[in-house]
Amino acid sequence: MAPELDEDGLSHEQRLLRDNIRRYLKEHVGPHIHKSEADKRFPFELIDGLGDFGYLGGHLPESAGGLGLDYLTWAVMMEEAGYCWLSLRVLLSGLNIVAGIIENCSSEAQKERFMRPLLRNRRRTFVSISEPGVGSNVAEIRTRADKRGDRWVLNGSKLWVTNGMFADFGIVVARTFSDSCDGKLSLFLVEKAETRFDCRPVDTMFVRSTGTAAFTFEDAELPAANLLGGEGEGLKQILIGLNFGRLNVAMGAVGAAQCALDLSTDYARSRRQFGRPIASFQLVQKHIVDMTMKTQASRLLGYRAARALQAGSARTECSIAKLYATEAAHQVANLALQVHGGIGYATDYPIERIFRDTRGGMIPEGTTEIQTLIIGREILGISALT
């Protein structure tokens, strides 16, 4: 007998998991958010308890140390992380993107050295793609890796490296030059304790606790064994993980929108003006209705993308979900700020943070404009990017 599904297509087990995660995050993570935002540091010790829910590589097959979770279940989990705190969603997404790439591309020795401790929350990681002059067009990356004997030598600069300040190791994308590769992109596993390079903090307006950094490599050496996958295969390997990343961003945005909506609904019922709750005002109700429609539509698009990713082909669906959900989340946050009035500006109240964080979601994993062009290309069969 097929499992009984709710109106969103979730099973009883998925709803139970969602509810348990929300309670856990509210109790164990929620109390730390304000201080972590003020200190611009993330309490990584809190991630230990999230492994039981599958947040540490749960989407990987059991043979790789995961739980074999389907993408719809994963989408629900990313929504709950975003509901609690978008910085949490961002760091969990990065960890799992790295885990997925290592699982797909690495040797057994690399898995033992990097993957095993990562899935036990014993190591922190980053993905370094963007550069000061390179954002959406990954093919223009200038950082280079030259093969010299049994070493690779990195030169170049990287920017907007999430978790770069806190991480122990990560993946760096570089243009590769050796006897067998002439300038194609490759992936490299770079450890801070092993490879000397400059790492400096970059303050941002959103996800302030995620340790965003800029890297500078000047003849930075790393062992030949740290090449991840084959020479010149980096672009293909990065593109494989993009749909997964876009699903994560989309569902985190849905969670943030739902949180803003819930806070606004509660506030509208309790806040009184002119002798009655502001929830009785027509324009406030209009705001709440608009927020509800945008949040529910975003969730359904995210679930649709998750199901498509499970089926194996999801480029259009993940881009649509990412584009719509991130735009809608910031619109919802904006309306939430309007409903709350002056108190919404206070930094010790969540609306201000949600407003900033949702604005940032429109840029990572492909900007709104890039998503629009990707979707247009898939629909029309003609690329506007070349």
Query: What architecture is the 126-231 domain classified under in CATH?
Result: Beta Barrel (2.40)
Mean pLDDT of the chain: 94
Contacts of 208 (CB under 8 A, 6+ apart): 37, 40, 87
Domain boundaries, the chain: 12-119, 126-231, 236-380
User: 12-119 and 126-231: same fold?
Assistant: no
Question: How, if at all, do strands 144-148 and 181-191 pair?
Answer: unpaired
Region 225-236: mean pLDDT is 92
Give the chain's count of helices (H) and strands (E): 11, 10
Topology of domain 236-380, CATH: Butyryl-CoA Dehydrogenase, subunit A; domain 3 (1.20.140)
Q: How high is the pLDDT of residue 50?
A: 96
DSSP bridge pairs for 200: 214
In this prediction, residue 9 has a pLDDT band, given cuts at 50, 70 and 90, of confident
Q: How high is the pLDDT of residue 220?
A: 97
In this prediction, residue 8 has a pLDDT band, given cuts at 50, 70 and 90, of confident
Region 41-56: mean pLDDT is 95
Q: How high is the pLDDT of residue 342?
A: 94
- 27, 365, 369, 378: which one is catalytic? 365
Residue 364: name the closest of 198, 250, 265 by CA: 250
Region 199-221: mean pLDDT is 97
Residue 145: name the closest of 234, 240, 236, 238 by CA: 234
Region 219-234: mean pLDDT is 94
Region 174-196: mean pLDDT is 94
231 belongs to the catalytic site:
no
Which tokens in the block code for residue 217? Answer: 């490599």
Region 204-218: mean pLDDT is 96
Q: How high is the pLDDT of residue 4?
A: 76
From 67-76, 79-88, 129-138, the region with the lowest mean pLDDT: 129-138
The CATH number for 12-119, chosen from 3.40.980.10, 3.40.50.300, 3.10.310.30, 1.10.540.10, is: 1.10.540.10
